[in-house]
Amino acid sequence: MSKNKLYQGFTLIVLFSVLQSMQILAQDFDFNTNLQNAYAEITKLRLTHARQLSSKESPNNGYKVWVDCLADAVNVYANESETEYEKLVDKIDDALDVIENLDTKAPQQRQLRAEIKFYLALVQMKLGHETKAGMTVISAYKLLEENKKLFPNYSANNKIFGVIHVLIGSVPENYRWITKMLGLKGNINQGIHELEIASQDKLTGFEAKFFKLFIQSYILPINDKVRTEVNDFVQKNTDSELALFLGVAISEKDNKSDQAWKISQKVPNGSGYLPLPIFDFYTAEIYLQKGNYDKAESYYQAYLRKFKGHSFIKDSFYKLFISNYLNGENQQAIAFLQNINQYGKKLSESDKAAQKFYDNYNKTKQLPNKDLLQARLAIDGGYYKEALENIKDINENALSSNLDKADFNFRKGKIYQNLGDSDQAISSFERSVTLAQNLDTHFGASSSLQLGYIYQKKKDTKKALLWFEKALSYKKHEYKNSVDNKAQAAITDNNN
């Protein structure tokens, strides 16, 4: 054989090896049609079908690993099982090892690892492992930062980066030294902008939009633009249980009980969808706000029967107390009240509030004012005229404690604020702040936050900032996390 033929043969072998190597690297991150469909099924909460689709793919495809981790994380987030969480941690450790050994020159190598870590952090936060969640988020942030330096034009970084930047931006000022010490940089406007960009992605835009709307409704003050976006998001994704959950949750948060009810009627049953008892809880809330106490009780009971996690367990027993108390069943009401101390965990703010109510009752044996309670429920549902009717005959001087008086003025402030009477709202909120000054309650902080929003709407930035700072100054109350995040977000927004 001639030297020329040997050379040609050697060249072909080398070329074939290089092409084969390039093909393997290309397959490291192949977000093919099948995996895109699996991912779409996860966003609908059809996890079983998503796993069936994913099972057909190579275990060394980074996107297959990512899809599997997302499905597992969503499942544990929903059921809140500590046993399943431990399994999830092991699965994610193995998954991260697989992706870390894939093509280091591909931007997906760091991006997908960061996203998997972020999903794990969400689960850890839900289960109360806050320190672990914080460390996991920092690890995800560092990976994204490194990826941005290596691939500055890689837009897929924006989705999780956006959420983390909002979280950093909403950290209260007195804790900013921690984020600076850890090298975490970002602000709310930056994060929202990144999520806006990520929302345009044809493949993963749903997820980014979900995060964006959640943040704009729970951390920032919701406005008409966001309400329209939420409505559009729900209408375009009626086959997604996750989108419908977001619509119901935000409607309830926004005191729009009737809207929450309409969306809840679209929730699909069966067909492989993940069972979500939380819809029973929200249905119970709607009935309670409408004053249908028997129906409310049946749905709270359904939630407690079906759900094996910890979220809203104490709150459900508190609401069962309210349903029976307002229905004239005092003995049964007290029985439910006792369960608050025995079941559930104090992780969510509503569960903390329920436990605090029980603790106060256990000390004083005083039951709440029924008119005030009904007014609060009517406000929560967005029935402001009915709420005004509930309190019209209440005289502050006739109330027995400063706690009830602060409560009364806070409720009155919320009613007038939502009916468009800002002067009456300001007067009532300021009175609530004064009455709550030395009390272990959220009314002072919550009233201060609303005063900030009122003056912000009036374009009186100076007064708005003073009230937002006042809201942050309260050291301890059951809604401190949400009030502080909203107040800090508003301050950041005003300063930009």
Tell me, yes or no, whether 390 and 471 share the same domain. Answer: yes
Check whether residue 335 and residue 351 sit in a common domain. yes
- Collapsing DSSP to helix, strand or coil, 277 comes out as coil
Same domain, 489 and 346: yes
Q: How far apart are CA 463 and CA 209, in angstroms?
A: 33
Instruction: Please report the pLDDT score of residue 17 as a whole number.
Output: 42
Q: Is residue 377 part of a domain?
A: yes
What is the reported pLDDT for 16? 43
Domain end, chosen from 198, 220, 242, is at: 220
Both 318 and 426 in one domain: the answer is yes
- Using alpha carbons, select from 274, 344, 342 the residue that is nearest to residue 309: 344
Q: Which amino acid is at 234?
A: V
CATH number, domain of 479, equals: 1.25.40.10
Nearest Cα residue to 247 out of 217, 276, 271, 208? 217
Cα 106 from Cα 282, distance rounded (Å): 44
Q: Which of 425, 411, 489, 495 is nearest to 455 (CA)?
A: 425
Domain boundary among 182, 198, 220: 220
Look at residue 1 in the predicted model and tell me its pLDDT.
52
Please give the residue range of the domain that contains residue 452: 285-495
Considering the domain architecture, whether residues 97 and 44 belong to the same structural domain is answered as yes
d(CA 110, CA 104): 8
Output the pTM of the full model.
Answer: 0.90
The pLDDT value recorded for residue 10 is 47
Q: Is residue 403 part of a domain?
A: yes
Query: Strand ranges (DSSP E) for 254-327?
Result: none
CA atoms within 13 A on the CB side of 182: 19
Same domain, 110 and 149: yes
As a whole number of angstroms, the distance between CA 440 and CA 406 comes to: 11
- DSSP secondary structure of 442-472: SHHHHHHHHHHHHHHHTT-HHHHHHHHHHHH
Q: Tell whether 187 and 68 lie within a shared domain.
A: no
The CA distances from residue 185 to 162, 483, 488, 494, in Å, are: 11, 22, 16, 19
- Same domain membership, residue 200 and residue 79: no
Domain count along the chain: 3
Residue 18 is predicted with a pLDDT of 37
User: What span, in angstroms and rounded, lies between the C-alpha atoms of 416 and 426?
Assistant: 9
Per residue in 295-333, pLDDT (tens digit) is 999 999 999 999 999 999 999 999 999 999 999 999 999
Residue 4, in any domain of the structure: no
Residues sharing a CB contact under 8 Å with residue 366, sequence separation 6 or more, in sequence order: 360, 400, 401
Residue type at 186 in one-letter notation: G
Sign for the CA dihedral angle at 417, 423, 426, 429 comes to negative
Angle at 245 between CA 241 and CA 250, to 5 degrees: 155
Encode pLDDT of 125-164 as tens digits.
999 999 999 999 999 999 999 999 999 999 999 999 999 9
Cα separation of 438 and 448, whole Å?
A: 15
Residue type, 289: Q
Amino acid letter, 13:
I
Q: Is residue 379 situated within a structural domain?
A: yes
> CA of 425: how far to CAs of 277, 384, 419, in Å?
37, 13, 9
In terms of Cα–Cα distance, which of 350, 318, 360, 355 is closest to 335? 318
* 434 and 463 together in one domain: yes
Q: Is 183 left (phi over 0), alpha (psi -120 to 50) or beta?
A: left
Domain shared by 489 and 345, yes or no: yes
- 33: CB partners within 8 A, 6+ apart: none
Domain CATH for 117: 1.25.40
Residue where a domain terminates, one of 220, 240, 272: 220
Mean pLDDT, the chain, whole residue set: 91
**Distance between CA atoms of 246 and 251, rounded to whole angstroms?**
8
pLDDT at 447: 97
Parts of the chain with a pLDDT under 50: 3, 6-7, 9-26
Report the alpha-carbon distance of residue 303 to residue 278 in Å, rounded.
Answer: 7
Same domain, 339 and 425: yes
Nearest Cα to 72, choosing from 102, 94, 47?
Answer: 47
- Do 164 and 142 belong together in one domain? no
